[in-house]
Structure 1
Amino acid sequence: MSGTLNRRAAAVALVSALAVTATACGSSDDDAKQSSSGGGKHAVSTAMGKVEVPDSPKRVVVLDTDALDSAVTLGVKPVGAVTVVAGAPLSTYLPQEKIKGIKEVGLIGEPNLEAINALKPDLILSSKVRDEKSYKELSQIAPTVFSETTGPNWRENFELHADALGKKAEAEKVASAYETKIAGLTKALGGPEKAGQVKVGFVRFVEGADTRLYFNDTFVGSIFKDLKVGRPANQDKTGFSLDVSPEKIDEADADVIFYSTYGDPKKAKETSITGGPLWKNLGAVKSKKAFKVDDNLWMLGIGYTGATKVLDAMEKNYAAE
C-alpha cells in the first residue's frame, strides 16, 4: 500500500510542478495549445461545475468505457484510455481500427497521472463516481469534464461528451439512428403491447460473488425499457441488482433470459448452475430462450455503439424466431 501511495504522491508532485512551469512559460504555451485544438473555446456544464474546453479538441484522454464509446461513436480517436483490469484490451466490441494505437493510461478509477500528462491532452473525459479523488490533478493537466456517474444515464453522458468534443450535431444523428433501431426491433417483437407481455431478464454470473439479476437502473435495464419489453416482477425495480445464491437461481425465471459471465465460468459458478436442475427448470431454458451473450459488450458497452450492438444481439436471438 505504501508503494502505491508513494507513486501517487510522485505523480501528483509531477503534475503540480508541470502546472507551475506552464504558468511561468506564459501565453506562448497557451497559444500553441489553443492552436492545436482549433482556436476557440466554449463552456460545458459538468458534474464539477462549468469548464472551459477547446471547441475542437485534438488530444482527448478518456477514463471510462462510456467515454471511450462516446468518442469513437462520434469519430474521435482518443490518444489515451484506461482499461478495466491490467492487461485487458481497451474494448472487445468497438472496431479495432478505431482504437488501435490508443495509449493505456492506467485502470478505471486508478488513472496514471504521469502517463496522462505525457500525452499532452487538451481534454479529459470521465465521471465523478470514478475519478473525483483525482479531479484536481487531472484539471491541472487539461480541461476535465466529469459526468455525475455512469450506467443508466448513458444518453445524458453522451450528450455531455458530445458537447465537450464539439460534436453536438453528429450526436443528434447518432441518437436518431438509435431510436430508429429501437422502433424497428420493437416492431419485430410484435409492437409495444406484445413486447410488453414478454418478461425479459438479465443474469450475470460473477467470479467471486453471487449471481446478479439486473434491475432497471442499469445499462441493460435501460435498453429493455427502451424496447418496452416486460420484466420479471423481481427485476422490474429501481436500483442495481438482486444477488442470489445458486440455491435461489429459480428467482431468475423469465420468458427470455440473456446471461453473461464475468471471470472464469467455473469460478463464477456458471458451469455448475446452468448444468443443475433449478436452471434447467426455468421457463426460458425449457423453451430454449436463454441466450449467452458477451459480458464485455453488455456490461461495458455503455454508449450508443454498445447499445446498438446489444440490440443486434437481441434481434439475432429471440426476435428472429
Structure 2
Amino acid sequence: MKLLTLSLAAALILLPLASIAREVQTSEGPVTIPDEPKRIIVLNPAMAGNVYALGLPVLAVTESTRSPTAEGYSGVWAAQASEQGSQVLPWDFDRFNMELLLSLEPDLIIGGGQGRPGFMTIEAYKDLSAIAPTILVDASLANWQAELDFLANALGRETEQQAALSTYAARIAQVKAAIDLPPQPTAFLLPVELDNMYFIPEGTATPQLFADVGFEADPILANHPDWKAFGTGDSAEISAEFATEALTAPTIILTPWSAGGISVTDLAAHPIYGTLPAVKNGNAYDFPDYTYRFDYLGALAVLDVIEATFGR
C-alpha cells in the first residue's frame, strides 16, 4: 500500500503542466483538467455512451453488465468502443483495481452517475484523483440529457452536445410518427427476481423517454405517497401483495435487471403477476436491460426497440 501511495503521488507530480487548462466545478469541488484530454478512463459504463457521443477519446471503460458483448462492452456503445480500441476494465462490487488504473497513465478519469460504479467512484475519489484529474457526474442528475450537459460544459464539447440533441429530437419525431400506442397508461417494471419486484417511478428517465413518443406513465408512486423510491429515486419496490391493486395499467413495459433476467413469460406463469390486466390481455412487453439507466446512445437504442415493437 505504501508503494502504491508513493506511485500515486509520483503520477500526480509528473502530470504535464502544459496540458492543464480548464477548471471544472463538480460535486467534489473545483477540478483542474486538461483542455484536450487524450487518455480518458470512464468508470461508470452507464455513462460511456455520453462520452463517446461527445467525440472524446476513451482509453478504457469499466466492463458493462448491460447487454454485454463478448469483449465486455455494452451493446449500445460497442461500435464506438471497438472503433477506438477502448480497453475493458474488470471490476468487482467492492473496489476498482487502482494499480491497473495507474498503469494506464490516464490524463482524465470520469466517474459518478447512478448505480454501484458511480457510488464506488465517490468512495474512491481521493485515490482516483491521485492517479489523474477526476470529475464525478452528480448522481442527482436524473437523465442522460443532464449528464450529457454536465460533461459537454466541463469538456468544452457544446457543439457535439447540440448535434446529439438534434439527432435525438429527429429520432423522436420519426418513432412517434411510426408507431401505434398500446392502451395507456403504462407501468414500467424492473424485476430483480420474480418475488423481488420493483417499478420505475413515473418521473424518471425511462418513463420520460417513452413519454417523448406519446406514452403516458401510470402515476404509481404519486398514487401511493407512503411508498419511497430507493437510492437516486429511479426505482421503488412493490411487493406481490400490493401488485394487483397498484399494477392496474393496461400496458406494462418490463425491463429485466440484467440480460436474460425475468421476462413476461415468467410473469404470466406467476399466480399473482399472471392475473394483471396487461399480462392477461397481451399488453406486457419485454424490453432489453439497457432500458433502465441509459445514456445518449442507450436512449437511441431504446427508441429502436420501441419502433420495432410498436411500429405499424
Match of 1:94 in 2: 77
**Equivalences for residues 152-301 of structure 1 within 5 A:** 152-188=142-178, 198-207=184-193, 210-227=196-213, 229-235=215-221, 239-250=233-244, 251-262=246-257, 272-276=266-270, 278-295=272-289, 297-300=290-293
Q: CA deviation at 1:232?
A: 1.6
Distance 1:256 1:51 in 2: 46
For 1:269-292, what per-residue CA distance to the aligned partner results, in whole angstroms no more than 9, with x for missing partners? 965532135444433334432211
The corresponding residue for 1:315 is 307
Match of 2:53 in 1: 73
Fraction of identical pairs, as percent: 24
Amino acid at match of 2:101: I
- For the residue of structure 1 that corresponds to 2:126, the secondary structure is helix
Listed as ranges, the gaps of 5+ residues in structure 2 are 224-228
Q: What is the rounded CA distance, in whole Å, between the counterparts of 1:289 and 1:208 in structure 2?
A: 19
User: Contact 1:256 / 1:284 at 8 angstroms: preserved in 2?
Assistant: yes
Distance 2:259 2:165 in 1: 35
- What's 1:3 paired with? none
Question: Take 1:151 and 1:109, find their aligned partners in 2: how far apart are those partners?
Answer: 24
Contact 2:191 2:255 in 1 (8 A): yes
Which has the larger displacement, 141-150 or 114-123?
A: 141-150
Give, in whole Å, the separation in 2 of the partners of 1:108 and 1:148. 20
| CA distance in 2: counterparts of 1:95 and 1:64, whole angstroms | 15
Q: Do 2:11 and 2:130's aligned partners in 1 also have CA atoms closer than 8 Å?
A: no
Structure 1 residues 257 and 272: alpha-carbon distance in aligned structure 2, compared to 1, 3 A threshold: closer
- CA RMSD in angstroms comes to 3.2
Amino acid at match of 1:273: L
Q: What whole-Å deviation, never above 9, does each CA across 1:55-75 have from its counterpart, x for those lacking one? A: 211100111123311122223
* 1:272 to 1:290, Cα distance in 2 relative to 1, 3 A: closer
Matched, 1:112 2:117: no
The runs of 5 or more residues in structure 1 that have no matched partner are: 1-9
Which one-letter code corresponds to 2:303 in the other structure?
Answer: L
State the Cα distance separating 1:230 from its structure 2 match: 1.4
TM-score when normalising by structure 1? 0.77
Contact map agreement 2:128 2:134 (CA 8 A) in 1:
yes
Contact 1:19 1:140 in 2 (8 A): yes
What's the secondary structure of 1:110's corresponding residue?
Answer: coil
Shift of the 256–269 alpha-carbon distance from structure 1 to 2, 3 Å rule, reads closer
1:305 maps to which of 281, 291, 297: 297
Per the alignment, residue 226 of structure 2 pairs with: none
Q: Quick check: 1:82 aligned with 2:74?
A: no
In structure 2, how many angstroms separate the alpha carbons of the residues matched to 1:249 and 1:169?
46
Cα deviation, residue 168, structure 1? 2.1
Secondary structure of 2:150's partner? helix
8 A Cα contact 2:52 2:80, kept in partner: no
- Does the 8 Å contact 1:83/1:107 carry over to 2? no
Is the 2:20–2:32 contact (alpha carbons within 8 Å) kept by the matching residues of 1? no
1:138, distance to aligned residue in structure 2 (A): 0.8
What amino acid sits opposite 2:238 in the alignment?
Answer: V
Partner of residue 127, structure 2: 137
- Bigger radius of gyration among the two: 1
Q: Counterparts of 2:280 and 2:264 in 1: how far apart (Å)?
A: 17
Match of 1:7 in 2: none
The normalised TM-score by structure 2 is 0.79
Q: Find 2:38's aligned residue among 58, 76, 89.
A: 58
The structure with the greater share of residues assigned to helix is: 1
> Kindly tell me: are residues 96 and 168 of structure 1, through their superposed partners in 2, closer, same or farther at Cα, counting changes over 3 Å?
same
